[in-house]
Amino acid sequence: MQFITDINLGRLAVRLRMLGFDTIFYRGTADRNFLRIAQQENRVVLTRKRELAKRQFQGILVVVESDRVERQLEELLSKLNLKPQSDRYFTLCLRCNVPLQEILREDVVNRVPPYVYENYSRFMTCPRCGAIYWPGTHIEHARNWIRALRIPSRHP
């Protein structure tokens, strides 16, 4: 399942990407063009704007009720019966929504802080924006909120 979120759901877009869901964060106005992109790319529309649900749209549109990102995610898991797969966690660039690629440790020597280079051996990169990712403490924090969702997983 692929998503497109409006400007009001940026944090939710990032969380969905962490779970491995292809999610476009649309920075423009949630209007006809927003819905047209969703329709063309067969994406589920996620919005906080109730009036958008009144527009003619032939795909799936979910008005997200909750204000808090944790509740928003639980709401989507329930409403859409989503079953995130642990092997997809942390596979997309959080900035670009592009699949990450493994990169050799030697290739990041001058692109990450020295402490990170010395203490981690596995790195991923975004082929679009060049962001570098590694399994640091931020991953443990993300694992904690994923566990709180009670999603069965082998490894986040």
Q: Is there a single domain that holds both residue 75 and residue 107?
A: no
Report the pLDDT value the prediction gives residue 151, as an integer from 0 to 100: 61
Tell whether 88 is covered by a domain: no
Choose between 30 and 13: higher pLDDT. Answer: 13
Please check the confidence at residue 41 and state whether its pLDDT lies above 90: yes
Choose between 123 and 152: higher pLDDT. Answer: 123
Classify the phi-psi angles of 4: left when phi > 0, otherwise alpha if psi is within -120 to 50, otherwise beta: beta
Long-range CB contacts (within 8 A, 24+) of 110-118: none
Number of domains composing the chain = 2
Please check the confidence at residue 51 and state whether its pLDDT lies above 80: yes
How many Cα atoms occupy the beta-carbon half-sphere of 130 within 13 Å?
5
Closest among 112, 129, 130 to 121, alpha carbons compared: 112
Please check the confidence at residue 152 and state whether its pLDDT lies above 70: no
Tell whether 87 is covered by a domain: no
Q: What is the pLDDT of residues 104-130, one digit of tens each?
A: 999 999 999 999 999 999 999 999 999
Q: What average pLDDT score do residues 88-108 get?
A: 96
**Cα–Cα distance measured from residue 156 to residue 154, given in angstroms and rounded to the nearest whole number:** 7
Whether 34 and 51 have beta carbons less than 8 Å apart is answered as: no
Q: Supply the pTM of this predicted model.
A: 0.89
- 121, amino acid identity: S
Residues pairing with 62 in the sheet: 46
Task: Specify the residue for token string 């409006």.
Answer: 6
Tell whether 94 is covered by a domain: no
Residue 155's pLDDT band (cuts 50, 70, 90): very low
Residue 21, domain extent: 3-82
Task: Specify the residue for token string 């994923």.
Answer: 146
